[in-house]
Amino acid sequence: MTDEAAAAAPAPADAAGAGSATASAAAPAGDAGTGVAVRDTAEGGPAGAAEGEPAGAADGGPARAAAGGSAGAAEGGPARAAAGGPNGPAAGELWRLVDVVDVALTLPAAFPEVVLRERPPPNRELRMPLGMAEGTALAYAWRRIGTPRPLTHELVVDVLSRHGVRVEAVRITGVERGTFLAELDTTGPAGRQLVPCRPSDALSIALRTRPVAPVLVADEVFAAAAAGA
């Protein structure tokens, strides 16, 4: 499966899609095999959090505040990051705290998408198409579907934890030629590290950490998605 693909192409990768600020209905339970909800556009379209619970609410509390000056979930407001990542905005860029509110395949689309919703007003939504494998992994993490043996992102989180590495936050840092960029913000024995990665991997890792790591989106990403960049 390829990495993030251009929004214009119907390829199975975390492609850039146009941003949306439309209201969302409650999501049905995920498909028994993939965890990805399948909907027909005639049934009212996608969106909405499964079981009514957004990412960040795991373990009964809000997501922790990110290192480097990022916004904490309790406040829900924007913050300026202390340092820019290798993929995206420079120091001082405005970040927005978001929740994962849906992972679904909406017919007649061939591939699922993840929906991120801005927590503070104006509650914009960012939609990113995924490959089926990536969508399945993310849906399992979001819906907390158990498996007999650890999935890849569970293994990654376990290895990081055993080596004393903490995922402080994940960030969607920018869009280049229709491809979303992301990074993991981590702290550990080697200090703070910003690790470039695919958005689908970043989100799956964030949802597997306990407490759930904050998900931050650069304000310019919302603007670029809304403009169809």
Q: Which residues contact 105 (CB under 8 A, 6 or more apart)?
A: 36, 37, 38, 39, 111, 112, 113, 135
pTM: 0.68
What pLDDT does 38 receive?
Answer: 75
Confidence class for position 228, pLDDT limits 50, 70, 90: confident
Query: What are the tens digits of pLDDT across the range 114-136?
Result: 999 999 999 999 999 999 999 99
> SS3 for 199?
helix
116 within 8 A of 14, measured Cβ to Cβ: no
The domains located in the chain, with CATH, are 37-226 (3.10.690.10)
- Nearest CA to 201 among 211, 213, 210? 213
Confidence class for position 31, pLDDT limits 50, 70, 90: low
CA dihedral 16, 21, 23, 25 (to 10 degrees): 10
Radius of gyration of the chain (CA): 16
Q: Does residue 84 have a pLDDT over 70?
A: no
Q: Does residue 57 have a pLDDT over 90?
A: no
What pLDDT does 221 receive?
Answer: 96
101 within 8 A of 116, measured Cβ to Cβ: yes
> Residue 217 and residue 220: Cα distance in Å, rounded?
8
